Amino acid sequence: MKPPQRLTRPGIGFFAVVAIALTASVADAEQAELVNRAQEAGLADAPGYGKAISIIDVNGDGWEDLWDSNTNKRPPQENRSSLPRFYLNQQDGTFKAYDLGIDPEDLEFTWGAAWADFDNDGDPDLLLGSGGFLGEGSLALYENRWKEEKKLVKLPAGITQAKHQWWGVSWADFNNDGCLDFTAIARRGRAWVYRSNCDKTFTEVAQELGVIVKFKDGKNPVWLDIDNDGDQDLYLGASRFHRLYRNDGDAGFVDITPRLGQFKPHPLTFASVSADFNHDGNLDLYLGRQIDQDMVAFGAGDGTFTLASRRVGIKTKLRPDRSENTMGLGVGDVDNNGYPDILIGTGSPDQEPYDLVFCNRPKPDSKFGIEFYPCGDFAKKGHGKIQTHGIAVGDLDHDGSNDIVFNLGGSPGFDAKNGTESRGMNTLYSRKGGNQQTAQFRLQGVDSNRDAIGARIRVTVSPEGKPPQIFHYSVRSAEGFQSQNSSWQLINLMGMAQAEVEVRWPSGRVTQHAIRVGAREIFRERPPSG
């Protein structure tokens, strides 16, 4: 086995990304450079065994901050402590580390995080899951008290105090009562589903709902509306016994896992994300499979799926003789064409493979209407073969283009066993010059949960002399390797002055909005008239 590289700060990498226009014409492609500026931004300040990464505005100043989940305060080698870190956005392209006041015991074996305004008071709160491969940790909920105390405060909230190897946590309002619920997966255990009592407490209802599964190696949950009926269904990733549940309202959840297709010998799902990859109005599911070819499950909108991988350009089984493949996973628009792309951390602490990025572009004459193509040279040149877990996407500097954060770092157990160094520094890739053809909006629920998690969005752009182009998005909680994208929807207006936006809120209400190029707006759910 080749020994890992010695710890170095990631260098600056440049890559010209071909952003294919909606006509798929190469002549119309834009050139854009992605630059790793983590060091100058203050994010490459300490090495770590990075896990989840979250983009979230904790202090409510309109500029999004960064939460960096890291492994623990007690790794096998004490001189390689790797604490979680929170960075406040300084509004000038830099970030500053800040202590949120989290109990040190909840920072042991820190693995994943999911931020959401669960109490509907206007600021994001933190659901923290610890454990993963490293040991038994806690499941903890912290209320945002920035306005009063400039920190987070732990709430008991009726959540289990038992220690488990918590892996994935994610928010959704599965009963559409306006209060966010959540699910949590223990790697060796089961799925916990907590229904909000709308009073800052929760009741565990997994068995009552019919979500009954025992995991040997459970991974992250994904909430998504697979049948377009307005409520959130649930996918539970796992190496062996993954599950897909349809939400039937008062009748509970129904196991419809066979509709995802057959996986031989096992699904081997390590990390999963959801998006409407081909903009047909139906949510799809990307299955990142640790030791096998990744798959895209294209949704038909009726709870059924069609699997595809290499025929849509996804080629991830790069080392047939090795176990690692997809571990880190994120989704977001990298090439600025409005289509969600896939970002993969290949996940090997021996630092053999490079991370992968597959950009997504329309291909009208194909079965699914899209194709993916490799576009990851910026990551290859920017941070090389250091292991990646969490990946998040959002416009951190308000320049109209998405930034990408890779949370780097390998495994303390691997290092202790092999006498190696697999820690890494965070990276922050920004597009030089930004993009002047975009607009951004964020949703704010009134009868729906305030974060509008679960909302479906239809954006119509009408280029002159061409048919209207329609994009479909949704508001999501933590996914992939337990990471969380910006809550702002960034759309490319393709040279037009404005776009039309239709929002289908979790409450069932539908609202119409217009947004002009360069705008950054909040769309609020209008209350019923009268």
What would the pLDDT profile of 155-207 be if each residue is shown by its tens digit?
999 999 999 999 999 999 999 999 999 999 999 999 999 999 999 999 999 99
**Tokens at residue 8, please?**
């170095």
Could you tell me the pTM of the whole model?
0.91
**Which amino acid is located at 158 in the chain?**
G
Residue 83: per-residue pLDDT: 83
- Up-side HSE of residue 308: CA atoms within 13 Å toward CB? 18
24 pLDDT higher than 70 = no
- Chain-wide mean pLDDT for the chain? 89
**Tokens at residue 121, please?**
């008071």
Residue 489: per-residue pLDDT: 97
Mean pLDDT of 443-448: 97
CA dihedral angle for residue 273, residue 276, residue 282, residue 288, rounded to 10 degrees: -30
* CA dist., res. 160 & res. 205, Å (int): 12
Mean pLDDT of 258-282: 93
**Tokens at residue 129, please?**
């899951």
Mean pLDDT of 49-78: 86
Contacts of 184 (CB under 8 A, 6+ apart): 127, 129, 139, 166, 168, 169, 191, 192, 194, 221
* CA dist., res. 117 & res. 446, Å (int): 13
* CA dist., res. 418 & res. 394, Å (int): 36
**Model confidence pLDDT, tens digit, residues 224-260:** 999 999 999 999 999 889 999 999 999 999 999 999 9
Q: Which residue has the tokens 């970002």?
A: 343
Per DSSP, which regions of 400-455 are E strands?
A: 403-408, 427-431, 438-444
111 vs 7: which has the higher pLDDT: 111
